[in-house]
Amino acid sequence: MSKRDYYEVLGVSRDASDRDVKKAYRRMAMKYHPDRNPDDASAEENFKEVNEAYEILSDSQKKAAYDQYGHAGVDPNQGAGGHGAGGFGDIFGDVFGDIFGAGGGGRRSHVQRGADLRYTLELQLEEAVRGVEKQIRIPTLVSCKTCSGSGAKAGTKPTQCSTCGGIGQVRMQQGFFSVQQTCPACHGEGSIVKDPCGDCHGRGRVEESKTLSVKIPAGVDTGDRIRLAGEGEAGMHGGPSGDLFVQVSVKEHPIFERDGRNLYCEVPISFVDAALGGELEVPTLDGRVKLKVPDETQSGKMFRLRGKGVAPVRGGGAGDLLCRILVETPVNLSRKQKDLLREFQSSLDEKYEKHSPKKTSFFDGVKKFFEDM
């Protein structure tokens, strides 16, 4: 049976970098690993094929020979079994050492960075537009002051794990290769606390709430994040603290709706004002302004007030406020008012097309539609 192209086996292009080849091998080897596919002969064959491909493509000389002559250009004795120089054992240690630790030869560092935290901060639209300083209270994990983060009772200290020798990992032999696993005795810590601290119960960290002052810059919007370095959870074994990310969420406003740098609002007016025109007061975030509405204004007409929007946090000028006119039908009319409206309507009937051009064109279109059916 002819062998598959090594690049095809790893799923990479011929101009793939060494890093891409290594990442592809790691992914494919994990996929077809015998431990993940017990009693699957095809997976075992694919696993060997992946290792063979990586052995050739990870070696610059072998890769050059393969690129020029194909499978004939490389020694077939360094195939799936990987018994030649730079065989499977070396490959496994090279790639999987990045995952399980440095080959078992050196002591693993147990210093761990603390976890990052996220806090959702709700703001009023006015606060988001102008900027504000807020006090927030967050629960977090801080280093235990009693044991200075060691987890051991005062006067004692953690002892080195005898199972892994302080490395935090143990090597397991499985068939023709070996893997490193987290030490079951110390759970990867490399040390064991025999006499735990009474305050943190051996964890080295305690739960605590802290109050922080957060400066919110002007122009932020929902989805923006503010990073407070070092305000996350405390690290383990002297590791640095994580960060706190404050996620902004702007509450819905009763009048305005924001879209980027622009603001939108609806301005209800009477049909008399719409017909005769006039000057109205409309709200902005900076106060009331005058808006001149021309006569015969139709519902839905949009008026733009330049510079009355939002200046984005990432820079640029302020956007605009767009006011959409909403002509309101009067309600709770008296008998006299209704009679006046009927009289007014009668005065329009003689020149209906002149006074309601949109209504006339609409019904003309409806009539034509049914006539063409």
Question: How do residues 2-34 score in pLDDT, each as one tens digit?
Answer: 678 888 888 988 888 888 888 888 888 888 877
DSSP helix, strand, coil percent of the chain (3-state; round to 5): 30, 25, 45
CB 147 within 8 A of CB 174: no
Residues whose CB falls within 8 Å of the CB of residue 214, separated by 6 or more in sequence, listed in order: 121, 133, 134, 135, 136, 226, 228, 246
Chain-centroid distance of CA 144 in Å reads 32
Q: From CA 70, how far away is CA 5, in angstroms rounded?
A: 8
Interval 325-331 mean pLDDT:
91
Instruction: Supply angle C-alpha 172, 178, 180, rounded to 5.
Output: 55
Q: How many of the other CB atoms lie within 10 Å of CB of 79?
A: 19
For the chain, the average pLDDT equals 81
Q: Which of 106, 107, 248 is nearest to 189 (CA)?
A: 107
Q: At 79, is the pLDDT very low, low, confident or very high (cuts 50, 70, 90)?
A: very low
CATH architecture of 106-152+200-252: Sandwich (2.60)
Amino acid at 284: T
**DSSP string for residues in 298-356:** PTT-EEEETT-S---TTS-----EEEEEEEEPP-S--HHHHHHHHHHHHHHHTTHHHH-
264-289: average pLDDT: 91
Confidence label for 262 from pLDDT (cuts 50, 70 and 90)? very high
Which of 202-206, 323-327, 337-341 bottoms out in mean pLDDT, i.e. has the lowest?
A: 202-206
What pTM value is reported for the model? 0.55
Q: What is the CATH number of domain 6-100?
A: 1.10.287.110
- CATH match for 257-328 among 2.60.260.20, 3.40.50.1000, 3.40.47.10, 2.60.130.10: 2.60.260.20
* Residues of each domain in the chain carrying CATH 2.60.260.20: 106-152+200-252, 257-328
Quick one: average pLDDT of 250-268?
94
- Name which residue leads in pLDDT, 77 or 41: 41
Q: pLDDT of 138-186, one tens digit each? A: 888 888 888 888 888 888 888 888 888 788 888 776 655 667 788 888 8
Q: For residue 133, what pLDDT is reported? A: 95
Q: Name which of 301, 294, 299, 303 is nearest 359 in CA terms.
A: 299
Mean predicted confidence (pLDDT) in 123-142: 92
Q: Which band of pLDDT confidence, cut at 50, 70 and 90, is reported for residue 356? A: low
3-state secondary structure of 170: strand
Q: Out of 102-106, 131-135, 231-235, pick the least confident.
A: 102-106
Give span(s): CATH 1.10.287.110, the chain.
6-100
DSSP secondary-structure letter at 294? -
Helix axes 41-57, 88-100, angle to 10 degrees: 100
Return the pLDDT at 83: 37
